[in-house]
Amino acid sequence: MSEQLGFYVDLSKCTGCKACQVACKDQNDLPIGVIWRRVAEYTGGEWIKAGSHYVPNNVFAYFTSVACMHCDNALCVDVCPAAAITKRDDGIVLIDQDKCIGCRYCEWACPYGAPQFDEDRGVMSKCTFCAPLIDAGEKPACVAGCTYRALDFGPIAELREKYGDFDAPAPLPDPSITRPNVVFTPHAKAVAFTAGTGQVLNPEEL
């Protein structure tokens, strides 16, 4: 069995430029409304009036690039009644659109919102980890397209050994639900999902 692959995201480098999102959409020729890799803008704190002006009180903002986490406990695989979703030997989770019946159970089960409904075709779609590129020895499009080199990929064990095991910055969900294969280097102001006091400023994009 191949080693489980995973993503690495350096939140301290991510500027929210969405080059990863654009590269993914272009590589996979995604229709309008379907975005496999998304970038959340998470902010918090407040401005307090001090005399004639305002001063910041724990004000922060950072960006989190998110796609399918190709989880160990992939709920999308478990709930698919058509057995259209499977995990490869390297852990990449794929949807066989020829088998998909468009029931959207996977969409409802995934806490990351990775599976997305393709209205034109009536089937589900999601990040494939750019499996064809991986198989050809190339990088996923999002990794190759990141202008600040904030994204990387590889065997998740190696990524965790190199970067640590921080896998749940706010606004992401509890990682114990699906055991995602992703590692983050925190932004200086990043907080864990359990301490999330901020809000997502661009929910319409997610």
**Range(s) of the domain holding residue 11:** 5-194
Please report the pLDDT score of residue 193 as a whole number: 87
Grade residue 195 by pLDDT with cuts at 50, 70 and 90: confident
Q: What is the average pLDDT score of the chain?
A: 95
Q: Is residue 148 part of a domain?
A: yes
Residue predicted with more confidence, 58 or 129: 129
Q: Are 177 and 73 in contact (CB under 8 A)?
A: yes
Domain assignment of residue 185, yes or no: yes
pLDDT in tens, 75-126: 999 999 999 999 999 999 999 999 999 999 999 999 999 999 999 999 999 9
In this prediction, residue 1 carries a pLDDT of 56
Q: Does 99 reside within a domain?
A: yes
Write out the DSSP string of the chain.
Answer: -PPPEEEEEETTT--S--HHHHHHHHHTTPPTT--SSEEEEEEEEEEEEETTEEEEEEEEEEEEEE-----TT-HHHHH-TT--EEE-TT--EEE-TTT-----HHHHH-TT---EEETTTTEEE---TTHHHHHTT---HHHHH-TT--EEEEEHHHHHHHH-----BTTS--TTTT---EEEEPPTT--BGGG--SEES-GGG-
- Stretch 177-205: mean pLDDT: 90
pLDDT at 161: 97
pTM: 0.93
Does 201 reside within a domain? Answer: no
CA distance 205 to 112: 13
Burial 39-77 (b: 16+ CB within 10 A, else e): bbbbebeeeeeeeeeeeeeeebebbbbbbbbbbeebbbb
Our count of domains for the chain comes to 1
In a domain, 104, yes or no: yes
> What percent of the chain has a predicted confidence (pLDDT) above 90?
84
Per-residue pLDDT at 52 exceeds 60? yes
| Domain membership flag for residue 200 | no
Partners of residue 55 on adjacent β-strands: 48
Distance between CA 204 and CA 184 in Å, rounded?
24
* pLDDT tens-digit series, residues 173-188: 999 999 999 999 999 9
Residue 18: the pLDDT is 97
> For residue 49, what pLDDT band results from cuts at 50, 70 and 90?
confident
Which of 76-80, 138-142, 165-169 bottoms out in mean pLDDT, i.e. has the lowest? 165-169
For residue 154, the model assigns a pLDDT of 98
CATH code at position 74? 3.30.70.20
Q: 106, 145 in Cβ contact below 8 A?
A: no
